[in-house]
Amino acid sequence: MTFSTQPVSPALGIEVDLDPARDLDAEEQAELRALFLEHHLILIRGHQMSVDDTVRVCGYITDVLHKEGVPPEAYVSTPKGDAVLPDLEVPWHGDMNFNVTPHLGAALYAEEIDEVSCPTWYANAARAAEKLPPELRAEIQDLEVAHDWPGTPWDPTFNPVEATRHPLLWSHPLSQKPFVYIAERQLRQPHLIDGVDPAEEKRLIDELFAILYAPDNIYEHRWQTNDLVIWDNLMLQHRRGNVTGRRTLRRLALVNGPDAAEGDEYFDIQGTMRARRLGHVATA
Ligand SMILES: [Fe+2]
């Protein structure tokens, strides 16, 4: 073990003592990647970091989404530039879940945080999959969920048949470990799980959410200026409350392979911001 580490919670996450200004050798990079896959969230605290610094550190783990001619970073919360989602509460979700290939991960770097700023909460969907009672696991094993673009229930041009489908119990592309892939934010959709009636759907969702959002399955991250949080966007869900005070978070999207978001161009970071201007919702 090269790095000094400590868990950030019993549910998930690990803090890594790492100097982001120093290039990591191949062994250290492999160790960081292994920590990410095991703990699903990495916190690096107390170092001022440029965009290039965060791109380099995230790049040790997987590919950073970077389209030609478009900056890789975007801003979340307030009050800088064209901030995505400035202040409203956002329920539990995974980013870009409606993509054919949802982003593998995301990173937020805290440029400036007030003490009154709200936390981000993370729930462990991989741990939830491990804790499924056998009967519930058997019930959901082959089910699929429709993932609508969050604005679509109010979009008269949207055809629910065209919603992206993902397995309710999906497996991670790098570790092949299972995770539960359904989130609170999707409840605004008129339908969710294919092939079950509304009463059955409600029962399944209630049982799954009781495991996913149990207090012992959640980590509350209280932001400090200069925090870098890198998380697995498949194994973890996240949410936030109403934002007060300054909470300037700089975001990168992580993907599995440089072409992983092929075909999902509309829903990359810039797509999020375009949709945001239309009143739609995405991100942390
Ligand atoms: Fe988000």
**How is residue 100 written in tokens?**
């054919």
Give distance in angstroms: CA of 239 to centre of ligand 1: 7
**What is the 261 CA–ligand 1 centroid distance (Å)?**
17
What is the reported pTM?
A: 0.89
9 CA → ligand 1 middle, Å: 20
The alpha carbon of 14 and the centre of ligand 1 are apart by a number of angstroms equal to: 20
| Percent of the chain at pLDDT exceeding 90 | 61
Residue 229: HSE in the Cβ half-sphere, 13 Å Cα cutoff: 26
- C-alpha 29: how far from chain center: 22
Flag whether pLDDT at 269 surpasses 50: no
Give the whole-angstrom CA distance, residue 53 versus residue 50: 5
Query: Where is average pLDDT lowest: 72-86, 198-212, 231-245, 268-282?
Result: 268-282
248 Cα: distance to centroid of ligand 1 (angstroms): 14
Q: How far apart (Å, rounded) are the C-alpha atoms in residues 170 and 104? A: 13
pLDDT of the residue at 158: 54
CA of 37 to the centre of ligand 1 (A): 19
Counting residues of the chain whose pLDDT is more than 70, the rounded percentage is 82
Residue 104 has pLDDT above 90, yes or no: yes
Question: Average per-residue pLDDT in the chain?
Answer: 85
Q: Which two tokens stand for residue 215?
A: 């207090």
28-40 per-residue burial string, b: 16 or more CB within 10 A, e: under 16: eeebbeebbbebb
User: Would you place residue 146 in the very low, low, confident or very high pLDDT band (cuts 50, 70, 90)?
Assistant: confident
Q: Cα of 282 to ligand 1 centre, how many Å?
A: 6
* CATH fit for domain 59-284, picks 3.60.130.10, 2.40.50.70, 3.30.110.40, 3.30.1360.200: 3.60.130.10
Report DSSP state, residue 217: G
Look at residue 50 in the predicted model and tell me its pLDDT. 96
CA of 24 relative to ligand 1 center, distance in Å: 29
Residues measured by CB to lie within 5 Å of ligand 1, the ion: 95, 283-284
**Residues 221, 239: Cα–Cα separation, whole Å:** 10
pLDDT of residue 246: 83
Q: How far is the CA of 207 from the centre of ligand 1 (A)?
A: 23
Amino acid 254: pLDDT: 92
Determine the average pLDDT of the residues in 141-146: 94
The per-residue pLDDT for range 37-75, each reduced to its tens digit, is 999 999 999 999 999 999 999 999 999 988 777 788 888
Quote the ligand 1 centre to 284 CA distance (angstroms).
3
26 Cα to the center of ligand 1, angstroms: 31
Q: Cα–Cα distance between 192 and 147 in angstroms, integer?
A: 7
Q: How far is the CA of 238 from the centre of ligand 1 (A)?
A: 6
**First and final C-alpha spacing in the chain:** 32
pLDDT of residue 141: 95
What's the gap in Å between 85 CA and the centre of ligand 1?
Answer: 9
pLDDT the model gives residue 66: 81
User: 230 C-alpha vs ligand 1 centroid, how far in Å?
Assistant: 12
pLDDT at res. 86: 59
Q: Report domain extents, the chain.
A: 59-284
CA of 224 to the centre of ligand 1 (A): 18
